[in-house]
Structure 1
Amino acid sequence: MTKSVPTPADVAAAARRLGRPVTEAQAASLAQYLGQLVKWNARMNLVGPADWTAIFDTLVVDSLYLADFLNGLQLGDTPLCLDLGAGAGLPGIPLRTIWPRGEYWLVESRDKRATFLRSAVGRLGLAATHVFHGRAEEVLDSLALRGNHATADLIVSRAFMPWRELLPFVRPMLRPWGTVVILANTPPPPEAELPAGWSPAEAASYPAGGKTRYFWPLQRVEPQP
């Protein structure tokens, strides 16, 4: 019978089984997050899977591979990152346990999910990781009031909206040559199908839940004068 609350050793074994090992400290943080998520999920239906192993194998797996993928992008040492429609903190919270670069904002408009995110981030003590409770189009104005960058270096989107709608939506939020990474269940579209002002970088695929998933990195291109 699957334990409802995993130990760090459980998580470390699950990560090895997926072919993406984690450190003891990372396993401890992931175990704490998964335990909290399972408990809250029983009351408010944050994610579909009910037990931690299914959550790990089908959802946390994205974060493990995303960390490696982001390390291969040219984002600078302290990028400003926005995670749109952060929901239950996937991929953002597990990602931040193993990829702590820059400043990371989990953007979520729904009250209960934002409450969970604040609780999880607070319990884990994730460095430079924050929750913005509000509409995505309002986040940069709010950050500007705090003295932050005017635009983001990186935007992460997992099922926030269809990509044809997402690209014009996030374009004003990205700095020139900033990157949006779309987590998808299908390969990226041909470059000819992208709207003007976007340049694709090399996509990546990875196994998740017995299927293949993809990261689409797209850069905002400035028009020629």
Structure 2
Amino acid sequence: MSVSRETKDLLIQYEALLRRWNLKINLVSPNDMTTLTSRHIQDCLQLADLAPVAAGHWVDLGSGGGLPGLVVAFSKVHTGTRFTLVESDQRKATFLRQVIRETNLKNAVVLSQRIECVEPLKADIISARALAGLPDLMPYLARHLSQNGRAFLLKGKKWRAELRDAQEQWDFLWTAHPSKTQEEAAILEISKVSYGAK
């Protein structure tokens, strides 16, 4: 995915900070560090292409090391989109805040609480990556999406099975966008979430 020069510079700063902090706390698996740019950052940038330019309030659940929340926030600095990164692990939340400070990122804040304990955020967009299976994510989406909000969830090769399992208890609209970085993976776009299968 192509990005602006400004976004590229921010991503370079972010990657350097991530590599440094990852020596102290486990933000990203050591095995994943070799493919951080080509696989993981590019994976997250797909969300920037899929989601509306002016998304309003974007909530990233289980932000961890900033994938995808910070990566997308860098790419949408001038769009008016505001980002809330929800991360309950205090060390990871400290890292996220440090990146925000050092990159002077004005469009993002960190909420260091458990997702289920945060007051409903009425998000226009929700993102999540490697957080939980889809059935476990559905209560979070129901709690935090606005009425017309949409979730963009990065899912691996087993996304179809997760989708079937979620549909046993939840009603929702969905679209699967093929991943450009991982064969057979998908980005699930989900909206109109309500409890109770059809």
The answer to whether TM tops 0.5 is yes
- Partner SS for 1:127: coil
Percent identity, aligned pairs only? 28
Question: Quick check: which has more Rg, 1 or 2?
Answer: 1
| Structure 2 counterpart of 1:54, from 15, 31, 35 | 35
Which structure ranks higher in relative contact order (CA pairs < 8 Å, sequence separation ≥ 6)? 2
| Structure 1 counterpart of 2:172, from 189, 195, 198 | 198
1:220 aligns with 2:192: yes
- Structure 2: gaps of 5 or more residues: none
Q: Is the 8 A contact 1:176 1:222 kept in 2?
A: no
2:7 aligns with 26
- Structure 1: gaps of 5 or more residues: 1-19, 142-149
How far is the alpha carbon of 1:215 from its aligned partner? 0.7
- List per-residue Cα deviations over 1:139-192 (Å, max 9, x = no partner): 336xxxxxxxx5222211112221112112320222223212211013443699
2:82 aligns with 103
How far is the alpha carbon of 1:50 from its aligned partner? 6.3
Q: Aligned-residue CA RMSD in angstroms?
A: 2.5
- List per-residue Cα deviations over 1:78-123 (Å, max 9, x = no partner): 5212111100000111111112342111100001100100000111
| Structure 1 counterpart of 2:146, from 175, 179, 185 | 175
Distance in 1 (alpha carbons) for counterparts of 2:126 and 2:34: 28
Return closer, same or farther for 1:167/1:216 CA change in 2, 3 Å cut-off: same
Q: How does 1:70-219 map to 2 (within 5 A)?
A: 70-71=51-52, 77-100=54-77, 101=79, 102-140=81-119, 151-186=122-157, 187-188=159-160, 189=163, 193=167, 195-200=169-174, 202-208=175-181, 211-219=183-191
What residue identity is the alignment partner of 1:128?
N
- Partner SS for 2:190: strand
Distance in 2 (alpha carbons) for counterparts of 1:177 and 1:162: 23
Q: Is the 8 A contact 2:61 2:115 kept in 1?
A: yes
Return closer, same or farther for 1:172/1:46 CA change in 2, 3 Å cut-off: closer
Distance in 2 (alpha carbons) for counterparts of 1:133 and 1:191: 29
Return closer, same or farther for 1:214/1:38 CA change in 2, 3 Å cut-off: same
Distance in 1 (alpha carbons) for counterparts of 2:178 and 2:55: 26
Q: Is the 8 A contact 1:92 1:106 kept in 2?
A: yes
Distance in 2 (alpha carbons) for counterparts of 1:169 and 1:64: 23
TM-score, with normalisation over the residues of structure 2?
Answer: 0.84
- Partner SS for 1:203: strand
Return closer, same or farther for 1:196/1:45 CA change in 2, 3 Å cut-off: closer
Distance in 2 (alpha carbons) for counterparts of 1:127 and 1:193: 38
Return closer, same or farther for 1:22/1:218 CA change in 2, 3 Å cut-off: same
Distance in 2 (alpha carbons) for counterparts of 1:95 and 1:171: 22
Distance in 2 (alpha carbons) for counterparts of 1:191 and 1:49: 31
Q: Is the 8 A contact 1:34 1:52 kept in 2?
A: no
Distance in 2 (alpha carbons) for counterparts of 1:122 and 1:193: 41
